[in-house]
Structure 1
Amino acid sequence: MKWIKTYERWIYIGAMVIGAIIWTMQQQDETTTLPLEEQIEQNEQPIAKQEEQASIVVDVKGAVKRTGVYEVAPTSRVHDVIQLAGGLTEEADETKVNFAMKVHDEMVIYVPKKGEEISTETATTDHASSSDGKININTATIEQLQTLQGIGPTKASAIIAYREEHGPFQKAEDLLHVNGIGQKSFEKIKEQIVVR
């Protein structure tokens, strides 16, 4: 009889252990469900932000088959946009277009005709120099940046490198994030630059 009672006791203990294990597993399932749902919600938010920035708008003018405004991916190059515009016309001067340049929002791509007097910078982008003589830091070449007071080859290269890594400047003050450009340097050039 003793061994029966001992056997029953072991069965009871075993059942308690199994019950405790099952209960623990259920609790773990319940605690992991909520964070998973929160994680899905958090993942959806960046996707929505990416969708908002999924395209940019550029204006194509000059010697292309279909001039107009085009919506393209932020990673597009001038070549891609010109293809969307039907390609170049026979009278286009392709030697004055930088097909490899990255496009940015509100950019104007102007393709000149053969024999048309126009600078290379104007042909490929939305005029690095504005009508009031200010330099557009989003499209200026390294040479144009060096025309700014106190900006030499090193700082000009840093500006272009920052622009390529982080995208177009949103405001002139963003230049302060560029390595080598402090408040004093910025004060010297802030009246000479523009952001478009």
Structure 2
Amino acid sequence: MKQWIKNMQQRWYVWVLLALGLAFFLYSNRQPEENTSFPVQLTEATERQETKEEKQAPSLVVVDVKGAVVRPGVYELAENARVRDAIALASGFTNEADQTKVNLAAKVHDEMMIYVPVKGENAPAPDHTSDGKEQIDINHATIEDIQKIQGIGPTKAAAIIAYREEHGPFRKIEDLLNVSGIGEKSLEKMKGQIIIR
């Protein structure tokens, strides 16, 4: 009888050990399956990020580069590009170019014309209105030149320069209404003296 009980206990231990071994085997085989889904989740997250970056791609502007550059022509650039980028697309300056007359740090804008004069050449003659007053290009004019516009003193001229530096070049004359101190009536008086390039 004692022998029979001893045999039953040994068999019971064997079954317990087998059950534990089987449980461990099944659990360890399940772990890799769970891990295989992780790279898939990463791939989906990466694809979402790439799609988001594509949507945030900057829009393009078109500029016309003329004068003393190697390859004058019309070029497309990112909206946040600078004049130096447009000159680079035109293969750079020629040996005769007067680089001191070009603001390479200026932001480009759509339909902008960038003219590079040769050394000794005056900048293109300014347009004139019928009453003979000089027209001022407010995107490139100095604070002194801006004060030549009727109704613009030192304070408003400084405000125009500050706005231009913060927001980039003016795209249309009406953008001046965003400058502190310039209203519709004063803009109407100065319109004939302003050009946008």
Note whether the superposition's TM-score is higher than 0.5.
Answer: yes
In structure 2, C-alpha distance between the alignment counterparts of 1:185 and 1:102, rounded to whole Å:
27
- Bigger Rg, structure 1 or 2: 2
1:118 to 97, 111, 122: 122
Cα 1:110/1:191, change in 2 over 3 Å: closer
Instruction: Show structure 2 runs of 5+ residues with no match.
Output: 1-47
Identity over aligned residues, as a percent? 62
Query: Which residue number in structure 2 is paired with residue 30 of structure 1?
Result: none
In structure 2, C-alpha distance between the alignment counterparts of 1:189 and 1:140, rounded to whole Å:
15
Shift of 1:156: 1.1
Q: Normalised by the size of structure 2, how large is the TM-score?
A: 0.60
1:89 to 71, 86, 94: 94
The reply to whether residue 148 of structure 1 matches residue 152 of structure 2 is no
In structure 2, C-alpha distance between the alignment counterparts of 1:131 and 1:187, rounded to whole Å:
17
In structure 1, C-alpha distance between the alignment counterparts of 2:110 and 2:181, rounded to whole Å:
27
Q: How many residues align?
A: 143
1:144 counterpart SS class: helix
In structure 2, C-alpha distance between the alignment counterparts of 1:184 and 1:103, rounded to whole Å:
29
Residue by residue, what CA displacement relative to the aligned partner does 1:64-101 show, whole Å, maximum 9, x if unpaired?
A: 11111111112222222111111111222222222222
Query: Which residue number in structure 2 is paired with residue 5 of structure 1?
Result: none
Residue by residue, what CA displacement relative to the aligned partner does 1:9-38 show, whole Å, maximum 9, x if unpaired?
A: xxxxxxxxxxxxxxxxxxxxxxxxxxxxxx
Query: Which residue number in structure 2 is paired with residue 134 of structure 1?
Result: 135
* Native 8 Å contact 2:61 2:110 kept in 1: yes
Cα 1:169/1:57, change in 2 over 3 Å: same
Shift of 1:170: 4.1
In structure 1, C-alpha distance between the alignment counterparts of 2:116 and 2:190, rounded to whole Å:
30
Query: Which residue number in structure 2 is paired with residue 172 of structure 1?
Result: 173
In structure 1, C-alpha distance between the alignment counterparts of 2:60 and 2:99, rounded to whole Å:
26
In structure 2, C-alpha distance between the alignment counterparts of 1:135 and 1:113, rounded to whole Å:
22
Cα 1:104/1:87, change in 2 over 3 Å: same
Shift of 1:190: 2.5
In structure 2, C-alpha distance between the alignment counterparts of 1:90 and 1:163, rounded to whole Å:
31
2:114 counterpart SS class: strand
Cα 1:171/1:95, change in 2 over 3 Å: closer
Q: Normalised by the size of structure 1, how large is the TM-score?
A: 0.60
1:62 to 62, 67, 72: 67
Shift of 1:61: 1.2
* Native 8 Å contact 2:107 2:169 kept in 1: no
- C-alpha RMSD of the superposition: 2.8
Query: Which residue number in structure 1 is paired with residue 105 of structure 2?
Result: 100
1:190 counterpart SS class: helix
